[in-house]
């Protein structure tokens, strides 16, 4: 069963999303390929960014709780890195999707403009103003609709589940009821971890900054800003690409596989973290009993 720390609100933590969205060159033939989706949106880079969520989670946890996280970092960081190691999720996507190469020169050129726009927006983050005219509300709605057909907003929501699981591990280390975890068997700990991740995914209330819907909205806004810098011909081409039946099918399959990997790896990370914490938790429980003795 879940212990108390699993159900506490994470409302003051935000997903460590990249400050910019780097979309790299890709091309597509008349028939959509999953490889195009992976490359156009640089899913590899996004999947590889998950371990960086630990830095942000530790910073916010320390600020909120006033705890020194240096002791837990030495235990938790190797586990998070291993669970979400570089290219591991992306390799799974490639193995399952078996993406074909793309060869559409028009999309290659568009993707280059997207990458350039991304760099310019990231570099202008500290600027006081912009000479570019603000797009109309009608155009913003059109661009938001396009952004929502892309993959990254959904993957941002998935990454926030991993972030919330990392934050749960931090809470476990500092739990005020260490005995509940310290005395669990390995199988009980695995069950606790799986239930915790399932609870994070199914939670419909306000998870605050680690809320998948907030993460999705933030990424959609970032994509909308990038798309607003492109010429109308580029928007038309991208809309055609993402509205095709083949791309839609590839998108849904990609998101499904990604989500399954997030759940599995988050559960493993949390279970292994609690196992690594057990000596500390047992010592903490013993110290608590000693201080409570007359």
Which tens digits make up the pLDDT trace of 202-251? 987 666 668 899 999 999 998 999 999 999 999 999 999 999 999 899 99
Mean residue pLDDT across the chain: 83
Distance separating alpha carbons of residues 2 and 189, to the nearest angstrom: 10
- pLDDT for the residue 204: 74
Q: How far apart are CA 133 and CA 139, in angstroms?
A: 12
Predicted pLDDT of residue 43: 86
Average pLDDT over residues 71-89: 95
Q: What's the CA gap between 79 and 274, in Å, rounded? A: 10
The model's pTM: 0.84
pLDDT over threshold 70, residue 131: no
Is the pLDDT at 118 greater than 90? The verdict is no
Q: Are 41 and 152 spatial neighbours (Cβ–Cβ below 8 Å)?
A: yes
Average pLDDT of the segment spanning 132-137: 77
pLDDT at position 293 is: 46
Residue with more model confidence, 20 or 53: 53
pLDDT in tens, 5-25: 344 433 333 333 443 444 444
pLDDT tens for each residue of 268-289: 999 999 999 999 999 987 776 6
Separation between Cα atoms, residue 279 and residue 136, nearest integer Å? 59
What average pLDDT score do residues 50-68 get? Answer: 93
Q: How many CB atoms lie within 10 A of CB 45?
A: 14
Whether 32 shows a pLDDT value over 50: the answer reads no
Does the pLDDT value for residue 133 go beyond 70?
Answer: no
Rounded mean pLDDT of 57-76? Answer: 94
Q: What is the pLDDT of residue 205?
A: 66
Location of structure tokens 């938001």: 144
pLDDT tens digits along 148-180: 999 999 999 999 999 999 999 999 999 999 999
How far is C-alpha 7 from the geometric centre of its chain's CA atoms?
20
Provide the pLDDT for residue 123: 75
pLDDT of residue 1: 36
* DSSP collapsed to 3 states, the chain: CCCHHHHCCCCCCCCCCCCCCCCCCCCCCCCCCHHHHHHHCCHHHHHHCHHHHHHHHHHHHHHHHCCCCHHHHHHHHHHHHHHCCCCHHHHHHHHHHCCCCCCCHHHHHHHHHHHHHHHHHHHCCCCCCCCCCCCCHHHHHHHHHHHCCCCHHHHHHHHHHHHHHHHHHHHHHCCCCHHHHHCCCHHHHHHHHHHHHHHHHHCCCCCHHHCHHHHHHHHHHHHHHHHCCCCHHHHHHHHHHHHCHHHHHHHHHHHHHHHHHHHHHHHHHHHHHHHHHHHHHHHHHHHHHHHHCC
> What's the whole-number mean pLDDT along residues 62-87?
94
């Amino acid at each position: 069963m879940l212990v108390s720390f699993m159900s506490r609100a994470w409302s003051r933590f935000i997903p460590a999303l990249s400050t910019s969205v780097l979309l790299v060159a890709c091309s597509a033939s008349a028939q959509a390929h999953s490889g195009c989706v992976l490359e156009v949106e640089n899913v590899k880079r996004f999947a590889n960014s998950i371990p960086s969520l630990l830095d942000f989670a530790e910073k916010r946890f320390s600020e909120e709780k006033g705890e020194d996280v240096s002791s837990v970092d030495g235990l938790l960081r190797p586990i998070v890195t291993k669970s979400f190691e570089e290219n591991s999720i992306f390799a799974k996507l490639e193995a399952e999707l078996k993406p074909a190469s793309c060869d559409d020169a028009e999309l290659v050129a568009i993707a280059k403009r997207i990458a350039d726009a991304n760099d310019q927006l990231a570099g202008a983050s500290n600027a006081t103003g912009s000479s570019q005219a603000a797009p109309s509300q009608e155009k913003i709605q059109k661009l938001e609709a396009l952004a929502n057909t892309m993959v990254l907003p959904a993957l941002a929501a998935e990454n926030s589940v991993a972030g919330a699981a990392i934050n749960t591990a931090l809470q476990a280390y500092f739990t005020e009821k260490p005995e509940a975890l310290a005395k669990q068997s390995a199988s009980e700990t695995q069950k606790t971890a799986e239930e915790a991740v399932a609870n994070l995914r199914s939670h419909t209330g306000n998870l605050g900054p680690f809320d998948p819907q907030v993460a999705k909205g933030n990424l959609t806004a970032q994509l909308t800003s990038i798309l607003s810098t492109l010429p109308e011909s580029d928007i038309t081409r991208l809309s055609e690409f993402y509205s095709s039946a083949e791309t839609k099918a590839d998108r849904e399959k990609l998101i499904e596989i990604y989500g399954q990997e997030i759940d599995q790896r988050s559960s493993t990370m949390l279970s292994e973290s609690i196992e690594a914490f057990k000596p500390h938790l047992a010592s903490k429980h013993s110290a608590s009993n000693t201080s409570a003795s007359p």
